[in-house]
Amino acid sequence: MKVTLKVWRQENAAAKGAMHTYELDGVSSDMSFLEMLDLLNEQLVTSGEEPVAFDSDCREGICGMCSLMINGQAHGPEVTTTCQLHMRSFNDGDTITIEPWRAEPFPVLKDLVVDRSAFDRIIQAGGYISANTGSAPEANSVPAPRDKAMRAFNVATCIGCGGCVAACPNGSASLFLGAKITHLGELPQGQPERWSRVVDMVGQHDHEGFGGCTNIGECAAACPKEIPLDVISQLNKDLRTALKNGH
């Protein structure tokens, strides 16, 4: 396959970026999207140009690092992570536009790499419980109802990729936040500090500059881990309860 790539290039956080066009030949439909970018970078290095900076780590859909806006969609045309997207989803002769996540709390560091440490600070603001309880207890020592355990497990699959923020016209991180609040708040072990946790995490979310949720649902449609929209209802319910109880 031969493709035309329009790629966002930006020297550093302070520099003004621009789209650059590259022609890439020899792309196999079996390549992952990131392998296609590796091929582009080989071509750039060979011709003495600087390779395109982009994030990746596991390349197995686990870590959430590979954040790219492809043809205007978070992670591209399939509901998956960018590393699990394959070139068979494109056609010979296609023009593919590749940009970083576009959200103020995720500043561009270089080319396609953004700083997502705002997510880390949201998690730090809530944590699990602040008391030091020593080493991890035996897993079955606190029985958890099966439905709650399954719900917590399912939403804990959020990999913090930021696709929900990139897809949301408000730049809201409510789906990510709802997933974290739900997985920590569903289990018996998460009940201590449940209410202060939600207030602190929502406060940090807003402080970072993420927008509010207006029930558009783009986030859940783009989420590679299929985090359901109702975690946002759970988030709002917990927040209301917390504020009603004076937290």
The residues of the shown chain that bind ligand FES, judged by CB under 6 A, are: 56-59, 61-66, 81-83
What is the distance between the alpha carbons of residues 240 and 247, in angstroms, rounded to a whole number? 10
227 binds, among ligand SF4, ligand FES, none (CB under 5 to 8 A by kind): ligand SF4
Binding map of ligand SF4 across residues 151-180, x = CB under 6 A, - = no contact: -------xxxxxxx----------xx--x-
210 binds, among ligand FES, ligand SF4, none (CB under 5 to 8 A by kind): none
Judged by CB under 6 A, does residue 83 bind ligand SF4? no
Kindly state the tokens that stand for 83: 């590393």
What is the distance between the alpha carbons of residues 187 and 22, in angstroms, rounded to a whole number? 50
What is the distance between the alpha carbons of residues 184 and 215, in angstroms, rounded to a whole number? 23
Q: Among residues 111 and 193, whose Cβ is nearest to ligand FES?
A: 111
What is the distance between the alpha carbons of residues 96 and 200, in angstroms, rounded to a whole number? 40
What is the distance between the alpha carbons of residues 242 and 158, in angstroms, rounded to a whole number? 24
Q: Among residues 195 and 210, whose Cβ is nearest to ligand SF4?
A: 210
Burial, 141: exposed, middle or buried (Cβ in 10 Å; 0-12, 13-18, 19+)?
exposed
Judged by CB under 6 A, does residue 76 bind ligand SF4? no
Please report how close the Cβ of residue 159 comes to ligand FES at its closest, in angstroms. Answer: 6
Q: Which residues form the interface with ligand SF4 (CB under 6 A)? A: 158-164, 175-176, 179, 223-225, 227
